[in-house]
Amino acid sequence: MTLEPVAAHAPLELEHFLPYRLSILSNTVSQSIATEYQDRFELSMTEWRVMTILARFPEISAREVVDRSAMDKVAVSRAVARLVDAGRVDRGIHDGDKRRSVLKLSEAGWAIHDEVAPLARAHERELLARLDEGEQAQLNSILDKLLAL
Amino acid sequence: MTLEPVAAHAPLELEHFLPYRLSILSNTVSQSIATEYQDRFELSMTEWRVMTILARFPEISAREVVDRSAMDKVAVSRAVARLVDAGRVDRGIHDGDKRRSVLKLSEAGWAIHDEVAPLARAHERELLARLDEGEQAQLNSILDKLLAL
DNA sequence: TGCAATTGGTTACAAGTGAAACTATAACGT
DNA sequence: ACGTTATAGTTTCACTTGTAACCAATTGCA
């Protein structure tokens, strides 16, 4: 008594399923930017994220990087370790709380940042170029709503 | 002679950077769905994706799963192996091409699918509930443009 | 003061992942 | 028909990642 057995199961249509579409888009975009700096600077995506945070908020602790980045603390710890190792980040100790680190980009770190940041912005512009002004504004406002915890 | 040294470096503002926002949103959404089925069914995200593809397109080869899923072939191979192992997918061999597999969900596979799919759809609805009708339509059309290769 | 609970950060171990090498089959060109 | 090339899929190895355990410094409070 089962005509159209597949339809009876109501499979998801991935190509119209929002979470799936978001994931494809996000991966494509992030990856296309990442491949540019990964080879050139031997820089992982996590490391680059940490660097952008430190560029905007110098002299913060690893904990604050975690808070500001929505990354997990182990990932940050490892990224910072490698960045310090590579001489791209300077790590100090907080006065009055010896647990806390105080992180900032080194000269070398800034040099890389200043090369990669425009490149990332260019990718964003290229992506947004497919939308007109109105759509760009709509997208922003929609993302605001979806990201509001 | 460097006043405002940070501004001079023009750091990215992650919270307004589209690729970053997409990535946060996508990870949050996918993860919130995934945690529901991971514990309950011991099912990884990759395996679930393969299952959704097989639900929509039964009797296809692993190769076709790769093509339709934008996943990498090793990941698919492993996911399929585990699904077959767990009795959730039946694997046959293509007539006339012994290299190709012919995959489809087993009874047990369909049973899981039929539990998880509505759950995934509920998450999508919950997400979209934050937007009004017009915004939902805009988002769809914008995603269409951004995803058009 | 002293000791349990919390916090910043690292380490250890298991699981997951990707690139490249490999096996088996099929397709192609001569 | 036969050797070359291409394809489907798996395996291996090195690397990454996540979870939980851990250490050290700090806080809270009896």
What's the pLDDT at B123? 94
What's the pLDDT at A7? 59
CATH number corresponding to A43-147: 1.10.10.10
Domain boundaries, chain B: 41-147
Nearest chain A residue (CA) to B132: A142
CA distance A81 to chain B (A): 22
Instruction: Point out the residue among B17, B138, B141 whose CB comes nearest to the CB of A124.
Output: B17
What's the pLDDT at B10? 86
- Which residues in A60-79 are b (16+ Cβ under 10 Å) and which e? bbbebbbebbebeeebbeeb
Which residue's CA shows the smallest distance to C1' of C20? B74
Distances (CA, A) of B61 to A106, B73, B78, B91: 51, 12, 14, 9
Rounded to whole angstroms, the distance from the CA of residue A61 to the C1' of nucleotide D28 is 23
User: A73: alpha, beta or left, given left = phi > 0 and alpha = psi -120 to 50?
Assistant: alpha
Q: How far is Cα B80 from Cα B73, in angstroms, rounded to an integer?
A: 10
Confirm if A60 and A69 have CB atoms less than 8 A apart.
no
What's the pLDDT at A54? 97
Rounded to whole angstroms, the distance from the CA of residue A19 to the C1' of nucleotide C25 is 38
Q: Which nucleotide is nearest to B91 (CA to C1')?
A: D9
Query: Over the stretch A9-64, which tens digit does the pLDDT of each residue have?
Result: 889 998 899 999 999 999 989 988 998 899 899 999 999 999 999 999 999 999 99
- Asked if CATH classification 1.10.10.10 holds for the domain at B41-147, the reply, yes or no, is yes
State the average pLDDT for chain B: 92
Q: Which residues of B touch A27 (CB under 8 A)?
A: 26, 70
Q: Which residues of A touch B68 (CB under 8 A)?
A: 14
Q: Which residues of B touch A14 (CB under 8 A)?
A: 49, 52-53, 56, 68-69
Token pair belonging to B121: 């759809």
Listed as ranges, residues in chain B with pLDDT below 70 are 1-7
Which amino acid, one-letter code, is at B46?
Answer: T
What's the pLDDT at B3? 43
Average pLDDT for A109-123: 95
Q: Which nucleotide is nearest to B79 (CA to C1')?
A: C16
Percent of chain A at pLDDT above 90? 83
What's the pLDDT at B8? 77
Distance from the first to the final alpha carbon of chain A: 46
What's the pLDDT at B2? 46
Q: How far is Cα A102 from Cα A95, in angstroms, rounded to an integer?
A: 9
Q: Tell if the CB–CB gap between A23 and B9 is shorter than 8 Å.
A: no
Q: Tell if the CB–CB gap between A22 and B26 is shorter than 8 Å.
A: yes
Average pLDDT for A115-143: 96
Rounded to whole angstroms, the distance from the CA of residue B102 to the C1' of nucleotide C29 is 30
Q: Tell if the CB–CB gap between A146 and B124 is shorter than 8 Å.
A: no
